[in-house]
Chain A
């Protein structure tokens, strides 16, 4: 099995999502609040996994722009859950490739007095291993 095939398999497994359920309606991309910040759009994400085009995916900055707001999950008519796919790709990057979108030493600079703990905890969970 090629490594991309394996990675695609892994993403499907972690996410529990079957990208073949997608009917390519584009509602996920229509609904995504972070759409403009993404280089690979949510609906493309689904077909990238289906086509096992993983290298481009894990390099994508979309991984770090998804807000996990579940609008795509809620509104998808085919129950594909693109948000879970994006998270699984992010997991692949932080677990296997040591990717790390948030470095410990950059944190002090990002803090301000009003910032809730919740924000740091959440960002840590999503961005780091």
Chain B
């Protein structure tokens, strides 16, 4: 018989305001095995934990139930406390009477009744708990960073500076990401390239950093500390070692009609190309869809002009397999497609552009060499209209339900830069709310209004109407004036919502990292573990976790790096002891369990057993507890009931069911 102590937490008023905690403790004492019950204001506090330790020691407790917040919050805390008192930590169970009770119920009597039942279930479970001992697994001292934008670069640099090997995998031919496409950055207006390029160089020169560009993650297996990842290095058709980056091939390439991805399709590039001049590595790739050699077999100009002999049309994709202890996801974002918002005439007029396109236009290295001009006729605009929240804050499936967070600030930046460089251009911004939380952000926005005379109108635009004379008629609301405005503009810029990059769901699935309905990766805890995925060993950096500007991204990238370093610094990890085990007297060696195990943790051994005095050799399932992750698939599939899961055994769960239905 266990000797169980029950500890009921008030959580200040979080629990105590709706649950009669004294009653819960009182009722707990009536349950079998319970020899001690008490309540306290904050069980998780030092003093609260001390109470648990004291009770374990004084009353020789063999099991503990803490009635408190979710086990996802403080199970570890209480288990550690129990361990301090000499109790096996797996003899502690949590009754979740906060998230699953006090916070969702209003009626005190009802909530108390439920809390009593939840406690009863936890007690019933602890009665059947057995001490468990975690195993150990090794840690590969190498990290993988998926994505080579500012988030990935910063994370990689921070991990590498701590002395660990880091690989960056980047899908595009160069690292740099979205930030390399930006012209200036808010709220300081420093040039994006000037602050990013040195970091790119630093990363590529770092002896601990290895960069795979034009590569994608293909397969992930293993678990925290010991992941195995297959990386597909797509064929560049250019030998990285031989290429000197002279650029002659790009100059001479006769196929120059492919839309430039880097310039958002605003101009074209050659079939053999580097996305931008400062690309790292400065080695071009051949885009086989537009290369004449690949399409017709005739051409080969690049090969002829390359003095280094670096062009290799026979190159094939290559798969590299590598082991990692930690993986950081930094896959970034893109702007949404605007097919669902054609009332803004994006597909009907070349002079309606997205903000990211405007970045390229404003950039000296962009398609217009930094001159602000209309794409329809090359003329300089006189009237510019910016429309905010295009696709953001949208309740239906046309757009995104969230605020994209960066648009208010970059629009203020664009407006300011345009007014500064072209004082004769009028700038109007239609906004719903101007959101500027951030250091020096509101001051920045106010400068746009007060110093630069940007005209902010509160109200959304309903329709952009292209006119036969090439102008754009913007039909919008002025809510403060309570009138409908018809404003003629030369260019319209849409603050397009951002969304996680395409393919992130596939990566999340490979990593078994959870992802939300908007394709943002979920953090382990919204406040307390914002850079960790709930899946151990997976960390989140940048916009893949939620909309962010550059300073926030860099801060989060550093935080993700620290978490990864914390993991890599360990030599061994304790593994989850809640693994499956087969009862050799019941196992009939049928192999059903091995077929459903996703980790290949089950094998078969011929073993001599003593079944009620009969000695014989049987084929028996054996679980490798280092590989078993404790999902329990085998336990249910086992026809003879031989498989069971420690910590979540059949008897334990049935006891909980019984306690709840009693």
Contacts and interface: CB of A to CB of B under 8 A. Distances in A.
A65 interface: no
B396 A79 contact: yes
Given A23-B432, A26-B459, A79 B477 contact: no
A25 B463 contact: no
Interface stretch (A8-16, A31-39, A91-99): A31-39
Contact of B395 (A24, A27, A28, A77): A77
B395 A30 contact: no
Given A24-B479, A41-B482, A30 B461 contact: yes
Contacts of A27: 460-462, 477
B402 to A, nearest CB: 12
Interface residues of A, number: 21
B475 to A, nearest CB: 6
A21 B401 CA distance: 12
A24 B432 contact: yes
Query: Which of A25, A31, A32, A35 has the most chain B CB within a 10 Å cutoff?
Result: A25
Contacts of A31: 343, 462-463, 475
A79 B396 CA distance: 6
B271 to A, nearest CB: 41
A21 B484 contact: no
B462 A30 contact: yes
Interface in A16-64: 21, 23-32, 35-36, 41, 43-44
A6 interface: no
Contact of A43 (B461, B463, B477, B485): B477
A77 B459 contact: no
Main secondary structure of the interface of A (DSSP, over half): helix
A44 B483 CA distance: 12
B394 A30 contact: no
Given A31-B343, A36-B484, A43-B477, A26 B460 contact: yes
Contacts of B395: 21, 77-79
A25 B387 CA distance: 12
A102 interface: no
A30 B387 CA distance: 12
Contacts, number: 66
B219 to A, nearest CB: 40
A30 to B, nearest CB: 3
Contacts of A25: 389, 432, 459-460, 477
A26 B477 contact: yes
Nearest to B476: A30
Contacts of B463: 30-31, 75
A77 B459 CA distance: 13
Contacts of B398: 77
A75 B389 contact: no
Contacts of A75: 343, 462-463
Interface size class of B (residues with CB under 8 A): 20 to 34
Interface string B481-495: 010110000000000
A78 B461 CA distance: 14
Given A31-B462, A71-B462, A77-B389, A26 B399 contact: no
Nearest to B392: A77
Contacts of A36: 484
A29 B463 CA distance: 11
B382 interface: no
Nearest to A26: B477
Contacts of A32: 462, 484
Interface in B348-398: 389, 393-396, 398
A77 B461 CA distance: 11
Query: Which of A35, A75, A79 has the most chain B CB within a 10 Å cutoff?
Result: A75
B484 A30 contact: yes
Contacts of B394: 77-78
Contact of B393 (A23, A43, A44, A71): A23
A104 to B, nearest CB: 35
B270 to A, nearest CB: 41
Contacts of A43: 477, 479
Contacts of B462: 27-32, 71, 75
Contacts of B477: 25-27, 29-30, 43
Contacts of B389: 25, 77
A15 B343 CA distance: 25
Interface in B431-475: 432, 458-463, 475
A3 B333 CA distance: 51
Contacts of A21: 395
A43 B475 CA distance: 15
Contacts of B476: 26, 30
A43 B432 CA distance: 13
Interface string B196-235: 0000000000000000000000000000000000000000
Contacts of A29: 459, 462, 477, 479, 484
A79 B399 CA distance: 11
A36 B475 CA distance: 13
Contacts of B432: 23-26
A26 B480 CA distance: 10
A5 B32 CA distance: 56
A23 B484 CA distance: 18
A35 B485 CA distance: 10
Contact of A30 (B393, B396, B460): B460
A30 B475 contact: yes
Interface of A: 21, 23-32, 35-36, 41, 43-44, 71, 75, 77-79
11 contacts: A21-B395, A24-B432, A25-B389, A25-B432, A29-B484, A36-B484, A43-B477, A77-B389, A77-B394, A77-B395, A77-B399
Interface of B: 343, 389, 393-396, 398-399, 432, 458-463, 475-477, 479, 482, 484-485
Chain A to chain B: the 10 pairs with minimum beta-carbon distance, closest first: A31-B462, A30-B462, A26-B477, A27-B460, A30-B477, A26-B459, A25-B460, A25-B432, A77-B394, A78-B395
Given A30-B462, A75-B463, A77-B393, 18 more contacts: A25-B389, A25-B459, A25-B477, A26-B432, A26-B476, A29-B462, A30-B461, A30-B475, A30-B477, A30-B484, A32-B462, A32-B484, A35-B484, A43-B479, A75-B343, A77-B396, A78-B394, A78-B395
